[in-house]
Structure 1
Amino acid sequence: MVPIIIIPGWRDSPPGHWQSLWTHELPGAVRVTQDDWVSPTRQAWVASITQTILAQAQPVVIAAHSLGCIATAHLPPEAAARIASALLVAPADPERRSVLNDFAPVPYQPLPFKSIIVASNTDPYCPVRTAGAYARAWGSEFVRLQNAGHINLEAGFGPWPLGLALLQSLIGEAQHTALAVA
């Protein structure tokens, strides 16, 4: 079983949010916790994510939302090397909110793992063109949703079948790769 690391964004994901549902529904899911969800610092967030990844016995699949996507892009090489793949949903633009400025500038180099970015043309926290630029820079597959807001509970995304299907495809690939290596 491939460990799944759930990485919420700024202010955490409330009950009913797809990340909260997946934490309870998916075997092997581990949710990253942060000491400060409201006034985040890049150093603290990256350290928490790194610690969670390195605590797993095998490579992981990431399911990140919003600022969690940006924190994932900032991971040090030893943590990034342990990621089989990542679903990066509604990445934030840290330059749009002063409280998130510590996460800027966003890294613009290829990620060392397979990734899928899902973004919306109506996301108030990140223009879709910025999310598309992340996808090009990171080497990510890009899935653009229409009128999906921030792809969170407020936008109507509690259970999210499409997201779960995308995550399951990444998990399946990671399991296949692990079996091929073994």
Structure 2
Amino acid sequence: MHRPKIVIVPDYGGAGKDHWLEHWRSNHPDAMRFAEHDPRDPTCKAWVRGIEDAVASAGPRTSLVAHGLGCLAVAHWAATTHRCIDAAMLISVPDVDATGRIPAQATGFLPVPRKALPFHTLMVAAETDGDYQHAIAHANDWDATLVLVGSISHETRPGTRHTWDEGLNLLWNLVDMQLVT
């Protein structure tokens, strides 16, 4: 049976040990790995290079799961790569038009590519994140399926692992769907 290969592209600042992305990776180490980028170089170019290297290393039948600013890095990667992936799950795409949503040291993310992404894309937005009109616009631009969930807990109490099982189920459904195509 084919084992899914999933490359994780975390939000700015990474995914600490209590973050749900780290929980997913640590419980599925044969399937999931982080796209690496130098935290001292938080530019879009560095993130795109990290995604390119991770996808090249993972090989065919790879999917991406990105969170926050990592979603924009995936859009930039898709606009420049010649590599193919099966699918991407983009979680909590930031509203870059809102003041202060991109840290000053994280450069090169604007303008955001507006072309359809060349792979099946599932976008997840939370109703509790406030105005998600930007998510609808990105989903339309990127030809993505948009799923609204009640909440995506971004905060965890120290020492408490947050699993966000609803998101993990969405990811496995996306990956399973690609296995039959």
TM-score (norm 1): 0.84
Identity between Structure 1 and Structure 2 (%): 29
Equivalents in 2 of 1:72, 1:14: separation in Å? 20
Partner in structure 1 of residue 134 of structure 2: 130
SS at the partner of 1:153? Answer: coil
Report the alpha carbon displacement of residue 101 of structure 1 after superposing the two structures with TM: 4.7
Partner in structure 1 of residue 6 of structure 2: 4
Partner in structure 2 of residue 43 of structure 1: 45
Number of residue-to-residue matches in the alignment:
170
Q: Is the 8 A contact 1:2 1:174 kept in 2?
A: no
SS at the partner of 1:92? Answer: coil
Equivalents in 2 of 1:34, 1:101: separation in Å? 14
2:102 to 59, 77, 97: 97
Report the alpha carbon displacement of residue 115 of structure 1 after superposing the two structures with TM: 0.9
Normalized per residue, which structure has more helix? 1
SS at the partner of 1:102? Answer: coil
Closer, same or farther: CA 106–21 of 1 in aligned 2, 3 Å: same
SS at the partner of 1:20? Answer: helix
Partner in structure 2 of residue 70 of structure 1: 72
Q: Is the 8 A contact 2:153 2:164 kept in 1?
A: no
Equivalents in 2 of 1:41, 1:48: separation in Å? 11
Partner in structure 2 of residue 34 of structure 1: 37
Please list the CA deviations of residues 50-84 of structure 1 after superposition, one character each: whole Å capped at 9, or x if unmatched.
Answer: 111011221211111001111000112313x2x10
Q: Which runs of 5+ in 1 are unaligned?
A: 178-182
Closer, same or farther: CA 120–131 of 1 in aligned 2, 3 Å: same
Q: Which runs of 5+ in 2 are unaligned?
A: none
TM-score (norm 2): 0.84
Partner in structure 1 of residue 180 of structure 2: 176
2:63 to 55, 61, 70: 61
Q: Is the 8 A contact 1:93 1:130 kept in 2?
A: yes
Report the alpha carbon displacement of residue 159 of structure 1 after superposing the two structures with TM: 0.8
Report the alpha carbon displacement of residue 176 of structure 1 after superposing the two structures with TM: 1.9
Q: Is the 8 A contact 2:23 2:161 kept in 1?
A: no
Partner in structure 2 of residue 16 of structure 1: 18
Q: Is the 8 A contact 2:42 2:107 kept in 1?
A: no
Report the alpha carbon displacement of residue 118 of structure 1 after superposing the two structures with TM: 0.6
Report the alpha carbon displacement of residue 33 of structure 1 after superposing the two structures with TM: 2.0
- 1:164 counterpart = 2:156: no
Q: Is the 8 A contact 2:18 2:156 kept in 1?
A: no
Over aligned residue pairs, what C-alpha RMSD do you find? Answer: 2.2
